């Protein structure tokens, strides 16, 4: 097996494992655990070992899971959490890349809802990156 395939397989296994636990936490309405596992899943994108093609494969696996997370954020909003509260919570992710992806996921919903200033939110995202 080529080295690239080995790295991709290991990362994919980790993504699937973290996606499973993220999904389980979402089913249990456990926001903090869902964020923890989503950050771990997104952390797999922090690699320089994969070629662009292999990285894209990994990215698509993670991106598919982010759609579920975004739905969960929308459900949390429907239950009474504000998007600004969710936006603040995702900023506690330990590494920059997972934090940025989580901020974008909540930020998209935040902007669509009209709850806050899209200009301020985009400025904040640019400052993080």
| pLDDT one-digit tens code per residue, 65-105 | 999 999 999 999 999 998 889 988 998 887 888 888 899 89
- φ, ψ at 82 (rounded to 5°): -85, 155
Q: Which domain, by its residues, includes 90? A: 3-128
Per the CB < 8 A criterion, the answer to whether 86 and 121 are in contact is no
pTM: 0.86
- pLDDT bucket at 1, cuts 50 / 70 / 90: low
CA dihedral 63, 68, 77, 84 (to 10 degrees): -20
CA gyration radius, the chain: 15
In this predicted structure, which of 49-53, 62-66, 118-122 has the lowest mean pLDDT? Answer: 118-122
Number of compact structural domains in the chain = 1
47's tokens: 């690699």
Give the closest residue to 121 by CA, choosing from 98, 88, 89, 95.
88
Tally of CA atoms within 13 A in the half-sphere of 53 that contains its CB: 2
């Amino acid at each position: 097996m080529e080295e690239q395939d080995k790295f991709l397989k290991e990362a994919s296994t980790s993504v699937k494992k973290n996606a499973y636990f993220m999904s389980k936490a979402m089913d249990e309405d456990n926001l903090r655990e869902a964020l923890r596992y989503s950050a771990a899943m997104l952390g797999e994108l922090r690699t320089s070992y994969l070629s662009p093609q292999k990285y894209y494969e990994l990215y698509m696996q993670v991106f598919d899971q982010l759609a579920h997370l975004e739905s969960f954020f929308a459900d949390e909003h429907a239950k009474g959490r504000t998007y600004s509260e969710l936006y603040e919570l995702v900023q506690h992710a330990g590494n920059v890349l997972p934090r940025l992806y989580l901020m974008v996921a909540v930020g998209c919903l935040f902007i669509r809802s009209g709850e806050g200033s899209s200009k301020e939110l985009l400025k904040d995202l640019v400052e993080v990156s």
